[in-house]
Chains A and B, each alone.
Chain A
Amino acid sequence: DTAVSQTPKYLVTQMGNDKSIKCEQNLGHDTMYWYKQDSKKFLKIMFSYNNKELIINETVPNRFSPKSPDKAHLNLHINSLELGDSAVYFCASSQAGGEGGDTQYFGPGTRLTVL
């Protein structure tokens, strides 16, 4: 059974479109995250939710909007896609309440290509 899953695995779309990436974890964790990995492999956190509440919101364009319908799901919606949004997006989860030190378990990633 996959612990942290993301759909889709690949996403190719045109500039200006709106798209969503879904994430689900079956680990019973309380906290979920979105990371962006750029073409140079640099990983940077975007958002974090603890029990459906936003706790980390990095400097990310407001075209990116996370939504957590329940603590097992954290979706990422992106409006008006731009070329610079092309990257691999990783979802992750950790057990406790978002305090430092919890191991984060990552999904397989979604490779987004904006043409």
Chain B
Amino acid sequence: AQKVTQAQTEISVVEKEDVTLDCVYETRDTTYYLFWYKQPPSGELVFLIRRNSFDEQNEISGRYSWNFQKSTSSFNFTITASQVVDSAVYFCALTEVNFNKFYFGSGTKLNVKP
């Protein structure tokens, strides 16, 4: 069964718009970890955030914010005032307790147009 679903395949916005990338996960574990990574056109995978299942506080880092809701099994990512440099594929990932095996979502490609 797919553990991480990113239903939005591709999103296009105009610079300065806010955009939210959705991530829904599935797990039977009570302890688990969620991540977001960014893959810009240059191809590398850049770590953005890590969250454990016991910490439901939302997090803000500059223009980035994350909304973790266990009730809906979601870990959504919002970019405020998007910029062209935000154009990338964004991946959500889940790992469970026993092994640090990442289950990646299929990614959301974000296009930010000037």
Contacts and interface: CB of A to CB of B under 8 A. Distances in A.
B44 A100 contact: no
Contacts of A101: 33, 50, 52, 95, 97, 100
Q: Is the interface of A mostly helix, strand, loop or mixed?
A: strand
A101 to B, nearest CB: 4
B32 A100 contact: yes
Task: Assign chain B's interface to a size class.
Answer: 20 to 34
Given A100-B33, A100-B96, A101-B95, A45 B102 contact: yes
B100 A40 contact: no
Contacts of B45: 90, 92, 106, 109
Interface string B11-52: 000000000000000000001110101010001110100101
Interface string B80-114: 00000000010100011111111010110100000
A42 B106 contact: yes
Interface in A56-98: 56, 88, 90, 92, 94, 98
Interface residues of A, number: 29
Contacts of B96: 100
Q: Which of B33, B39, B50, B109 has the most CB of A within 10 A?
A: B39
Nearest to B44: A108
Nearest to B33: A101
A99 to B, nearest CB: 6
Interface of A: 31, 33, 35, 40-45, 48, 55-56, 88, 90, 92, 94, 98-109, 111
